[in-house]
Amino acid sequence: MPTILDLLGISPPPYLQGQSLLPMERVDQADRAIYGENIIWVSGGGLLQHLFVVRSNLKLVETGERGARTFALYDLEADPGESRNLLRDEPGAAVGLMSTLEQFKLSNQKREGLPGCQKAEFS
């Protein structure tokens, strides 16, 4: 949403999470990490959480909840379809991105409701 608002020249409200991706076109932003998350409703009444972080050409995906988390690492340039998990081939890159993802999660612990949601207060 912040990118769309930036394209329209509208300042985002203070409660809106995220940042515009338009500055990514600049060279000094090339190594910036991009985060995302999805919540998927699973038949039988459960929720499956997907978190990811992308830096440069690498994408780390975390799936599941505490105690049942799985990870995958992909090279988006060589494998845009994310079919080859490089987690065992690139453990150093995976650990670095896991650390970045954990920092992101810690910085967002104050959110309320489902992951990705924040309580908005209107006056």
Instruction: Tell me how far apart the alpha carbons of residues 118 and 23 are, in angstroms, rounded to a whole number.
Output: 24
Whole-prediction pTM: 0.65
Q: Could you tell me which residues are beta bridge partners of residue 73?
A: 60
Could you list the pLDDT tens digit for every one of the 123 residues in the chain? 888 888 888 888 888 777 787 766 554 555 678 888 887 777 776 777 888 999 989 999 998 765 678 999 999 999 999 999 999 999 999 999 999 998 888 776 655 444 444 433 333
Chosen CATH of 33-107 out of 3.40.50.720, 3.30.1120.10, 3.30.300.30, 3.40.1190.20: 3.30.1120.10
Closest CA to 54 of 117, 101, 108, 2: 101
- d(Cα 60, Cα 48) in Å, to the nearest integer? 17
Question: Domain boundaries in the chain?
Answer: 1-26, 33-107
Residue 24 confidence (pLDDT): 60
